[in-house]
Structure formats: structure tokens, C-alpha cells
């Protein structure tokens, strides 16, 4: 069976080809799955997609009409897939239920430290042989308070690092994580967490209930000199409201590895084009904002685990087996917490 893999990054391709060798043939495309590219999958029983694929009802119907029966998504999140339509069309949909939580947790702290210590500005200056320290003063993290919204695998790994810094730990989640409690985390309501935290980091899934978890009111409730980090899903933050707060001179720093309108932008080279997204264009002009392109997961260890799990999902499908990674056919469930 030949698997058609959409949205494959250059570093990812050799890992996919090596993993599938001796099992099934895999053909890697750098194109992302959209309504325009879906017809390419005709004749392929199994396809693999990236997190930025657009698997809406129309795309799913094109895939099913072309003979596709398995969609193996190479990510934990699946808010980009219309699972109800997939189930009605008889498609099997599988994801990667978990991979290295350290990849994202470490990157979240990389963003926090970079905006706290003005690393991007400092690097730009020294490249021009400007070695002044004006405007580069950061703050010690030890003794300050970090608020962790979502304490699943990634949130726990993020908390362990914060504990190593010697920070006070506040958490918010539906269920308390005993490991985080053992590290000294105090679980509080969201309002208190936002009001008291010097650093706020998001590690929850994107669901209808969490969309714009940080809306205008929530952002206003944060400290004026807080640091905000989002390495989870862009839709957790109301970006228009965030821009408004930044224009008012609030926040020491904001580190974003995700953006709610990133589809069609992230993972692509737009450097020679006019980007028509005015909100993103405004966002990247703020000197205290650092935006990266959904790369928090992008380590050799994490991508290797994602590839291996994707292969196992294909093998399970071919053998008629069911695993925890299968989303459809089954009752529609909420997205995982990492």
C-alpha cells in the first residue's frame, strides 16, 4: 500500500521514509492538504496529514470519493478535522496521542526567557556591533510566580522546569496533577492565576470551551508587566484583544509559537509575498513580542515518535486493530491535553 503524506517538512521526510521502509511505501509531499490539493489523493487508500491540513467536510468528501479510507494525522491535536463527517463517510481517522512533552515545554521556556532577557533585540544589536545594554534589562525568575493553564503531560514538564527555577507555582485544570502538587503547585481559579502570575503559559487543548480562553477581559486581568507564552493552539488567545493590550503598552513580553489564523501561513515561505493578515503584521512589529512558526514540537525525539506512531497507526489499520490513537470510527471525543 502506498501512503500519501501531505505537508512533510524537509527534516521530516527522511525519518518517514526510513520508518516506513520494509512496511509500506510512503510518498512525501510538501503540499498541505486543502480542498485544492485533496484530489491528488485519489487512488490512495491511506493518507497522512499535518496539523495545518484543512480536513473540513468538503475535503473529506473529496478524499472519500477518491477511495481514501484512512487518515493518519501526524499530530496530537485534531481540531482541524470534522470528525462527525468523517464518521458518516466511513473514514478511519487516527492521530498521535502523545509524544515527547519536553520538546514543547522546553520551547515554551525558551520563548519566555527570550522575551524576558530581550535576546532577539540583543542579537540584532550585536550583529551591527552595537554593544549597549540600554533597554535589555530582564528580571530574575526565581521567587516569581508562574501560572500554568493546563497541567497534562506538557504542563507537567513545563512545571518541573519552573520548579527548577525556584518559582512559585499556580495551576488551573479540570483535574489536579499529583506530580505538580508534589512540586508545590497550588491549584486556583483562572481569574486568580491570571491576576497573580508573572509568567502565564498555555497548555490546554483547543475545544469550543477553550476557544479564546484568554479573551479581552482575561488579558486585562493580567499584570501589566506579565509575560505570556502560548505554545499550544493559537485559538486559545483572542489575538485582536492581545494587540489592543500591547498597543496600550502592557506586558513585559509575549512569546507565541502559534497563531489562530496560522493556516496558510505557518510552515510556508511568504518572505517574497505581501502578507494580507493585518493582525499578524501588527503583532510582529511590537518589540516585546516574539512569534515563531509552530516549531515547539520540532525536535528529533518528538518528530521521531510522531513518525513511529504514524507508522503503527497504518499497520494497525491494515491489520484491523484498534488503538487509543483511533478517533473515528468511535464516539467523538475531545482533543487530548498536549
Catalytic residue at 233? Answer: yes
3-state secondary structure of 78: coil
Q: Return d(Cα 205, Cα 335) in angstroms, integer.
A: 6
The catalytically annotated residue of 153, 245, 294, 335 is 294
12, 260, 262, 335: the catalytic one is 262
| Residue 91 · residue 64 · CB < 8 Å | yes
176 given a catalytic annotation: no
Phi, psi angles (nearest 5°) of residue 195: -70, -30
- Rounded CA-CA distance 94/88 in Å is 15
| Residues ≥6 apart with Cβ < 8 Å to 96 | 73, 74, 75, 76, 305, 306, 309, 310, 313, 325
Q: Quick one: CA torsion of 151, 157, 163, 167, rounded to 10 degrees?
A: -60
Q: Which of 233, 245, 260, 335 is catalytic?
A: 233
> Could you tell me which residues come within 8 angstroms of residue 278 by beta carbon, excluding any fewer than 6 positions away?
none
Active site includes 262? Answer: yes
Percent helix, strand, coil in the chain, to 5, is: 35, 15, 50
Of the candidates 244, 311, 242, 255, the residue with the CA atom closest to the CA atom of residue 288: 255
Active-site positions?
Answer: 233, 262, 294
Amino acid at each position: 500500500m502506498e501512503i500519501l503524506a501531505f505537508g512533510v517538512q524537509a527534516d521530516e521526510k527522511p525519518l518517514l521514509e526510513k520508518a516506513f521502509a520494509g512496511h509500506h511505501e510512503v510518498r512525501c509531499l510538501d503540499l498541505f492538504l486543502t480542498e485544492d490539493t485533496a484530489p491528488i489523493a485519489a487512488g490512495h487508500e491511506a493518507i497522512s496529514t499535518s496539523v495545518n491540513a484543512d480536513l473540513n467536510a468538503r475535503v473529506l468528501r473529496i478524499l472519500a470519493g477518491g477511495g481514501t479510507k484512512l487518515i493518519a494525522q501526524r499530530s496530537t491535536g485534531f481540531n482541524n478535522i470534522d470528525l462527525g463527517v468523517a464518521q458518516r463517510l466511513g473514514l478511519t481517522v487516527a492521530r498521535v496521542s502523545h509524544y515527547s512533552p519536553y520538546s514543547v515545554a522546553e520551547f515554551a521556556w525558551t520563548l519566555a526567557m527570550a522575551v524576558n532577557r530581550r535576546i532577539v533585540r540583543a542579537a540584532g544589536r550585536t550583529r551591527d556591533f552595537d554593544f549597549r545594554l540600554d533597554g535589555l534589562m530582564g528580571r530574575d525568575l526565581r521567587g516569581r510566580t508562574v501560572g500554568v493553564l493546563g497541567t497534562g503531560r506538557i504542563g507537567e514538564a513545563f512545571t518541573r522546569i519552573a520548579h527548577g527555577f525556584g518559582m512559585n507555582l499556580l495551576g488551573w485544570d479540570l483535574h489536579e496533577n499529583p506530580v505538580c502538587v508534589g512540586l508545590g503547585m497550588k491549584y486556583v481559579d483562572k481569574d486568580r492565576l491570571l491576576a497573580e502570575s508573572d509568567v502565564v503559559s498555555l497548555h490546554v487543548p483547543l475545544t469550543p470551551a477553550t476557544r479564546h480562553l484568554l479573551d479581552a477581559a482575561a488579558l486585562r486581568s493580567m499584570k501589566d508587566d506579565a509575560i505570556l507564552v502560548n505554545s499550544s493552539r493559537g485559538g486559545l488567545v483572542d489575538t485582536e484583544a492581545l494587540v489592543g493590550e500591547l498597543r496600550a503598552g502592557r506586558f513585559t513580553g509575549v512569546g507565541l509559537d502559534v497563531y489562530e489564523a496560522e493556516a496558510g501561513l505557518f510552515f510556508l515561505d511568504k518572505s517574497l509575498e505581501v502578507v494580507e493578515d493585518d493582525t499578524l503584521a501588527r503583532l510582529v512589529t511590537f518589540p516585546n513580542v516574539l512569534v515563531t512558526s509552530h516549531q515547539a514540537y520540532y525536535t528529533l525525539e518528538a518528530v521521531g515518535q510522531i513518525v513511529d506512531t504514524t507508522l503503527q497507526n497504518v499497520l494497525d489499520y491494515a491489520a484491523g486493530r484498534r488503538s487509543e490513537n483511533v478517533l473515528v470510527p468511535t464516539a467523538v471525543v475531545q482533543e487530548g491535553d498536549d
